[in-house]
Amino acid sequence: MTHQYLSGLVLDGRRVVVVGGGGVAQRRLPRLLESGARIDLISPSITPTIEGLLGNPSLSWIERGFQDGDLDGAWYVVVATDDASVNDQVSAEAEERRIFCVRSDDRARATAWTPASGQHDNVTIGVLGGGDHRKSAAVRDAILEGLRTGELAARDVDRRPGVYLVGGGPGDPDLITVRGRRLLAEADVVVADRLAPQPLLDELHPDVELFDAAKLPRGRAAQQEEINRILVDRGRAGKVVVRLKGGDPYVFGRGFEEALACAEAGVPWTVVPGITSSISVPAVSGIPVTHRGVTHEFTVVSGHIPPSHPDSLVNWDALAQLHGTLVLLMAVENLPAIAERLISAGRPANTPAAAIADGTLPGQRMVTSDLDGIARAMQDDGVGAPAIVVVGNVVEVAALARDRAGASERGGGGVG
The domain 15-114 is classified under which CATH number: 3.50.50.60, 3.40.50.720, 1.20.140.10, 2.60.40.10?
3.40.50.720
Q: State which fold the 279-402 domain adopts.
A: 3.30.950
Inter-residue contact 195 to 171 (CB < 8 Å)? yes
d(CA 193, CA 212): 6
Q: State phi, psi for 264 to the nearest 5 degrees.
A: -65, -30
What count of Cα atoms within 13 Å lies in the side-chain half-sphere of residue 373?
10
Nearest to 63 by CA among 42, 84, 86: 42
Residue 247 β-bridge partners: 169
Inter-residue contact 299 to 325 (CB < 8 Å)? yes
d(CA 172, CA 181): 12
d(CA 376, CA 25): 59
d(CA 232, CA 241): 9
From the list 172, 193, 358, 370, the catalytic residue is: 193
185-212 per-residue burial string, b: 16 or more CB within 10 A, e: under 16? bbbbbbbbbebbbbebbeebeeebeebe
Say how far residue 49 (Cα) sits from the centre of its chain.
Answer: 22
d(CA 352, CA 367): 11
Report pTM: 0.70
Q: Is position 212 annotated as part of the catalytic site?
A: no
pLDDT tens, position by position, 208-251: 999 988 766 656 656 889 999 999 999 999 999 999 999 999 99
In this structure, which amino acid lies at residue 83?
A: D
Report the C-alpha dihedral over residues 210, 211, 212, 215, rounded to 10 degrees: 140
What are the structural domain ranges in the chain?
15-114, 115-156, 159-275, 279-402
From the list 68, 156, 207, 215, the catalytic residue is: 215
Q: Is position 105 annotated as part of the catalytic site?
A: no
d(CA 39, CA 33): 8
Element at 277 (helix H, strand E): helix 277-284
Q: State which fold the 159-275 domain adopts.
A: Cobalt-precorrin-4 Transmethylase; domain 1 (3.40.1010)
Nearest to 149 by CA among 137, 158, 162: 158
Residues of the chain with pLDDT under 50: 155, 410, 412-416
